[in-house]
Amino acid sequence: MARIGVISISDGRDYVHGGIADFIGRTEDKLATRLTEAGHEVVRGSSPVSSNTLATSVAREIAAADVDLTVLHYAVWAFPHFTMLAAGAIDGPLLLLSNIDPVQPGMVGMLAAGGALDQIGRAHTRLWGDPDSPELISSIGVHASAAAAVASLRGATFGRIGGRPMGMNTAVANTDQWQRLFGIDVEEIDQWEIVRRAELADTGEKVTAREWLERHANVHYDGKKLTPELLERQIGSYMAMRELIDEWNLDFTGIKGQPELTQYFATMDIAEAFLNDPYDWNGPKEPHVCATEADMDGALTMQLFKHIAGTPVLFADVRHYHGDRDIWDLCNSGQHATWYAARSSDPAENLARVHLYPEVFFFPAGGASVHHLAAPGEMTLGRLTRKDGAYRMQLMLGSFETYDEETNKALMNQSTPEWPHAFARLDAPADVFLSRFGANHIHAIPGDHRATIRAACSLLGVTLDEFTRG
C-alpha cells in the first residue's frame, strides 16, 4: 500500500469559498476514509486551498510528508492558478481528481487546472467519480502503488557481482543511463568476495542450514556432483551474499556465476533461490532480488515487480515452446525462488515440493540444482528491455499450468529436468513473442498487475510494449 497526500482546491473568492467549504470538507472526508479503508496511509492538507499563499504552504506540507502520490481534489470550481502554484511546490507525481456532482462544477475545475499543467508540460493523471465507488478508489490505489514502486528505485544501489556472463549483452546495462532514468547506483564487486567469504562463513550455520534443507526438501546426494560438503559450500555462498548485502547496503543484486564459479567453485543456485525467497533456515525475511548471470535489466525488472506485487519475483529463461500445447517451458538453473513451488506462507509446504539434484554437465564444479515445478495460477509476465538504447516494458498476462504427474515429468524431461520449471500459457502468439521479445530472460509475479505496471512505466517515461492475442 502507498502513502497518499490529498489537497482540496477551492474557489478564490472569499464569499464563495465560505459557502462551499463544508461541502469540500465532507467530500474530502469521504475520500480519505475510503482510501484508508483500502489500506493506504492518507496525509491531508491542513485546509482547502482558497488563496495563492495557501496553495504554496499546503503543498509544501504535503511534500514534506514524503508522500508517494499527491491527489489534487476538485469537489468544486477551483481557481486554476492555485493548482499551478501547488504543483510548483511538489516534485512527486500528481493525480487530479474531480467529483461528478452536477451542482458543483468540480469537473470544470479539474479540466481548467489540467489544461494549465499541460501548457507547461507538467505530467499528471486525471480521474473522476464518487469516492464511494470501489473502482475509483482502486484506480487511485493503482497509481499510488505505481508511484511508490518507482520511488523505491530512486536512491537504490544494485550490487553487480562479476561482469558480463558468457558474452550476454542483454545482461549488461549502462550505469549512467540507470542513474539518469531510475536514480540507481551500481556497485561493482568481484566474485572472489563470494569465494573468500564462503570459506570463512560460520561452520555451525552451514551445518544447521544443510540439516534444515535435508529435513524439509528432498536432497539427492550422489557422492560426486552433490555432497554434503558441496551443499555447505553453496550455503556459505548464500551467507557471503548476505554479508555483502549488509556491508555495502545493497538493495538488489546479481551474480555472474558462469563460467568461473560454475566451473571451479560451485553453482549459485542455493544462494539465488533463497535470497529471492521470503524465508531461509533462520526464519521469515524480506525477499532480496538477486538475478542470475548478473542480469542487470532482469534485476531491475524484478525489483520493480517486487515492489508492485509484494511477492518474490520469478526469473527464468524462455527455454522451450511446446507447440502442441501452446505452452512455454520457463526454466533456468536455480533462479526460481522455492516459494513458487506452492506459493505458500509455510516454507515447509513449498520445500516439500523442492528437490535438490546434482548439477548437470554444464557446471563441472557441482552443487545442488534447486528443482521444482511452479504452482498454477494467473501471472503477469514481462521484462524491461532496450531497443536502440531506449527502455521499453514488454508486458503480457499469462498463467502457469500443471498437469498430471506423468505429463509434468515428460514435459520437464524434454529440456533439463534437474532445473526448476514453470509451464506458462502466454496471452501472445508464439510467432509474435519470438519475433519481438528482447531477451532470453523473462520475469513473473502472481496476479494481474498490468495496470500498476502501465502507470509505473508512465512515471518512468518508459515505452510500453504489450503483447496480447486481441
196/404 Cα distance (integer angstroms): 44
Q: Give the C-alpha distances (Å, rounded to integers) separating 10 from 21, 28, 49, 283.
A: 8, 12, 6, 52
At residue 335, the pLDDT reads 73
At residue 101, the pLDDT reads 87
92/59 Cα distance (integer angstroms): 11
Q: Which residues contact 354 (CB under 8 A, 6 or more apart)?
A: 217, 218, 338, 341, 370, 371, 372
- Contact of 206 with 245, CB cutoff 8 Å: no
Q: Give the C-alpha distances (Å, rounded to integers) separating 469 from 302, 327, 429, 432.
A: 25, 14, 6, 9
At residue 1, the pLDDT reads 84
Q: Give the global pTM.
A: 0.95
Residue 7: φ, ψ to 5°? -125, 120
Scan for cell 498437469, then name that residue: 403
Residue 192: φ, ψ to 5°? -60, -30
Closest CA to 233 of 134, 363, 138: 363
Residue 42: φ, ψ to 5°? -110, 130
At residue 334, the pLDDT reads 66
pLDDT in 10s for each residue of the chain, 470 residues: 899 999 999 999 999 999 999 999 999 999 999 999 999 999 999 999 999 999 999 999 999 999 999 999 999 999 999 999 999 999 999 999 999 888 999 999 999 999 999 999 999 999 999 999 999 999 999 999 999 999 999 999 999 999 999 999 999 999 999 999 999 999 999 999 999 999 999 999 999 999 999 999 999 999 999 999 999 999 999 999 999 999 999 999 999 999 999 999 999 999 999 999 999 999 999 999 999 999 999 999 999 999 999 999 999 999 999 999 999 999 998 678 999 999 999 999 999 999 999 999 899 999 999 999 999 999 999 999 999 999 999 999 999 999 999 999 999 999 999 999 999 999 999 999 999 999 999 999 999 999 999 999 999 999 999 999 87
The tally of CA atoms less than 13 A away on the side-chain side of residue 239 is 24
- Asked if the bond preceding 259 is cis, omega within 30° of 0, the reply is yes
Residue 257: φ, ψ to 5°? 75, -65
At residue 243, the pLDDT reads 98
Query: Which residues share a beta bridge with 252?
Result: 158
Closest CA to 443 of 254, 314, 330, 334: 314
